[in-house]
């Protein structure tokens, strides 16, 4: 998300902003907003319609879906293929951040690499930005658990041998394969709606703190992109157009300029890509390239990745006041969990700039701007 | 390492996830201690009161899947009803489990909030017997 605000206008309000975000956006174990209660029937609508449902309920603007992968709704979702158990886990969690590496971060543009692309994305030096990282919550995990059980049987049925029990598969065109994809689309649509709702609460929070409408604050969605998802797409293989199932795990979509699925506003520069780093260093905004289309089925990496296990991070951070350390660097952090901040210390992650150098060096995405964090809420 | 009458568990290092290694003299002890390990990932077990009691009945085709299903059951109750348990009693008859768990509703005002568990996985899953008793390993997606 971008704002029309500059860093200097936000700096003095960052504590209040982070506190208010923390209050408005439920995070951590068992958190929920009392004003968002869904019936099972309503939840099924979310699974079919994704962001469309959220916008109709008043979460966000009519224009928002334009700037979301698949316009915030993957077609073909079938809620009847999603178990009651998944629905029960999903019902109280819509509009919640979760914990672990999920976050909302307020930052600013501290370096511009590509003026033309930055302008197309509405980004400029010192501008305040917001990143939201969350997904399909317990519902998505339950869909995964349910279908692992089904697909494990299919793996045997179709005589496929795999090296780990966590792995299982079925042919895409089989009954099990089709059902899984229709259930996964429902989980993806839940994730789109979840981010849209949180996005709306971010807008409300800024309005409250700055006593100004979100329109005047210039709070606009730049782009919402998935990671960890399988999608049916058309790609050129050996000179021929082919329909493929592209599974992006630890990866995100990076479509080039003029691709039909790249939003009109970004036609000349390519689809925006977000690569978040750790909470102490930076995150990057990039755009997709033709080379990604040719070499990686229009994909790039989705984050820095950990170098330390959570246990190691806890050892390294023992006795340290991490929140204070970050505060000294000008970053205000608020976390629901007692141990989250220590498990998520910046050095537990790879330096995202090195990761970004690799993907931009390989030509599978192009750097547009670098963001530095000012305030972070975590679960 | 935490030791309980039924067995002991320890958290194991895993780059992106979290795991527990459980040891117990009996298979029942493995299930009870794994339950405690799960609760300890989420909060401090010693802060939990046994106010609510729940019964469980599960059956699977093999012991590993039964252990995963058992922990998934605990995760489901945490996600939907906010229940977290501090005491377990498990009976096994071949691959059928009957259990009772005692605990309470998780309250962030009272209980330490450690980690939200997203899923129980089959990754590197193991339930084995050696000359010292039973040993199990489970990796959680967090």
Domains, chain A, in order of start with CATH, read: 26-96+134-220 (no CATH), 99-133+225-379 (3.90.1860.10)
CA-wise closest residue to B113 among B39, B59, B52: B39
In a 10 Å sphere around its CB, with 0-12 CB exposed, 13-18 middle and 19+ buried, how is residue A66 labelled? Answer: middle
> Looking at beta carbons, which residues of chain A come within 8 Å of B12?
311
- Encode pLDDT of B6-57 as tens digits: 799 999 988 778 899 999 999 999 999 999 999 999 999 999 999 999 999 9
> Looking at beta carbons, which residues of chain A come within 8 Å of B142?
99-100, 310
pTM of the model: 0.93
Task: Report ipTM for this prediction.
Answer: 0.85
CB contact under 8 A, A100 and B121: no
Q: Residue-wise over B15-36: b if at least 16 C-beta within 10 A, else e?
A: eebbbbbbbbeebbbbbbbbbb
Q: Which of A162-166, A186-190, B55-59 has the lowest mean pLDDT?
A: A162-166
Chain A residues with CB within 8 Å of chain B CB: 28-31, 85, 88-89, 91-93, 98-100, 138, 141-142, 144-145, 148, 164-166, 305-312, 336-340, 343, 379
Domain regions of chain B by residue span: 2-141
Residue located via tokens 């505060």? A327
Give residue A191's Cα distance to chain centre. 9
More confident residue, A216 or B108: A216
- Encode pLDDT of A355-366 as tens digits: 999 999 999 999
CB contact under 8 A, A29 and B113: yes
Q: Nearest by CB to B106, which of A30, A99, A310?
A: A30
- How distant, in Å, are the alpha carbons of A29, A102, B101 from that of B75? 11, 19, 13
Do residues A374 and A332 lie in contact, with contact meaning Cβ atoms separated by under 8 Å?
yes
Quick check: B4 pLDDT over 90? no
- State the Cα–Cα distance between residues A111 and A4, nearest whole angstrom: 17
Catalytic residues of A: 302
Report the phi/psi class of residue A297: left, alpha or beta, with left for phi > 0 and alpha for psi in -120 to 50: left
- Encode pLDDT of A278-332 as tens digits: 999 999 999 999 999 999 999 999 998 889 988 899 999 999 999 999 999 999 9
pLDDT (0 to 100) of residue A100: 82
Which two three-digit tokens encode residue A64? 């928002």
> Looking at beta carbons, which residues of chain B come within 8 Å of A378?
none
Q: What is the mean pLDDT of residues A124-144?
A: 97
Q: Which residue of A has its CA nearest to B119?
A: A141
Secondary element (H or E) of residue A50 = none
pLDDT (0 to 100) of residue A216: 97
- Encode pLDDT of A223-262 as tens digits: 999 988 999 999 999 999 999 999 999 999 999 999 999 9
pLDDT (0 to 100) of residue A262: 96
Quick check: A186 pLDDT over 70? yes
Question: Is some CB atom of chain A closer than 8 A to the CB atom of B81?
Answer: no
Sequence-ordered list of residues with C-beta below 8 angstroms from that of A206, at least 6 positions apart, any chain: A3, A17, A212, A214, A217, A219
Topology annotation, domain B2-141: Archease, Possible Chaperone; Chain: A; domain 1 (3.55.10)
Quick check: A372 pLDDT over 90? yes
Q: Which residue of A has its CA nearest to B106?
A: A30
Percent of chain A with pLDDT over 70: 100
- How distant, in Å, are the alpha carbons of A142, A242, A289 from that of A237? 34, 7, 17
pLDDT (0 to 100) of residue B5: 60
Q: Give the gap in angstroms from C-alpha A250 to the nearest C-alpha of chain B.
A: 12
Quick check: A31 pLDDT over 90? no
Q: Nearest by CB to B82, which of A30, A337, A379?
A: A30
Q: Choose the mutation target among B37, B116, B125, B141 for the interface with A, i.e. most A CBs under 10 Å.
A: B116
CA-wise closest residue to B15 among B124, B130, B136: B124
Question: Is some CB atom of chain A closer than 8 A to the CB atom of B62?
Answer: no
């Amino acid at each position: 998300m971008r704002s029309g605000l500059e860093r200097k206008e936000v700096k003095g309000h960052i504590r209040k902003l982070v506190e208010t975000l923390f209050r408005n956006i439920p995070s951590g174990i068992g958190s929920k907003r009392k004003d968002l209660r869904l019936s099972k029937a309503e939840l099924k609508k979310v699974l079919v319609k994704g962001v469309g449902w959220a916008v109709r309920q008043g979460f966000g603007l009519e224009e928002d879906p334009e700037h979301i992968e698949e316009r915030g709704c993957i077609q073909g979702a079938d809620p009847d293929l999603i178990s009651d158990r998944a629905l029960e886990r999903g019902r109280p969690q819509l509009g919640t951040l979760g914990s672990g590496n999920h976050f909302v971060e307020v930052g600013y543009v501290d370096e511009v690499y590509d003026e033309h692309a930055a302008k197309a994305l509405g980004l400029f030096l010192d501008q305040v930005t917001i990143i939201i990282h969350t997904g399909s919550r317990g519902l998505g995990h339950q869909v995964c658990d349910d279908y692992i059980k089904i697909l494990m049987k299919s793996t045997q049925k179709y005589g496929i041998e795999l090296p780990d029990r966590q792995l299982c598969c079925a042919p895409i065109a089989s009954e099990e394969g089709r059902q899984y994809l229709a259930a996964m689309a429902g989980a993806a649509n839940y994730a789109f709606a979840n981010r849209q709702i949180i996005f709306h609460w971010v807008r409300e929070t800024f309005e409250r703190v700055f006593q100004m409408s979100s329109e005047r604050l210039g709070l606009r969605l730049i782009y919402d992109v998935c990671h960890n998802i399988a999608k049916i797409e058309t790609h050129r293989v050996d000179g021929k157009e082919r329909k493929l199932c592209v599974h992006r795990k630890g990866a995100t979509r990076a479509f080039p300029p003029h691709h039909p699925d790249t939003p009109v506003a970004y036609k000349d520069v390519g689809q925006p890509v977000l690569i978040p780093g750790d909470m102490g260093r930076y995150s990057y905004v990039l755009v997709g390239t033709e080379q990604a289309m040719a070499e990686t089925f229009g994909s790039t990496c989705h984050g820095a990745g950990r170098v330390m296990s959570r246990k190691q991070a806890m050892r390294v951070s023992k006795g340290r006041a991490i929140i204070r350390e970050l505060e000294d660097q000008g970053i205000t952090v608020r976390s629901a969990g007692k141990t989250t901040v220590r498990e998520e210390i910046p050095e537990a992650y790879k330096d995202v700039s090195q990761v970004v150098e690799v993907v931009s060096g390989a030509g599978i995405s192009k750097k547009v701007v670098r963001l530095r964090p000012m305030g972070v809420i975590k679960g | 390492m935490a030791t309980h009458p039924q067995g002991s568990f320890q958290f194991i290092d895993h780059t992106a996830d979290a795991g527990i290694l459980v040891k117990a003299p009996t298979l029942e002890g493995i299930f009870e201690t794994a339950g405690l390990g799960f609760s300890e990932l989420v909060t401090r077990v010693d802060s939990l009161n046994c106010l609510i009691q729940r019964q469980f009945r599960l059956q699977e085709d093999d012991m590993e899947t039964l252990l995963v299903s058992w922990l998934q059951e605990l995760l489901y109750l945490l996600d939907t009803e906010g229940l977290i348990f501090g005491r377990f009693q498990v009976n096994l008859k071949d691959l059928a489990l009957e259990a009772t768990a005692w605990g309470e509703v998780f309250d962030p005002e009272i209980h330490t909030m450690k980690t939200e568990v997203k899923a129980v996985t089959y990754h590197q899953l193991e339930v084995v017997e050696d000359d010292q008793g039973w040993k199990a390993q489970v990796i959680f997606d967090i």
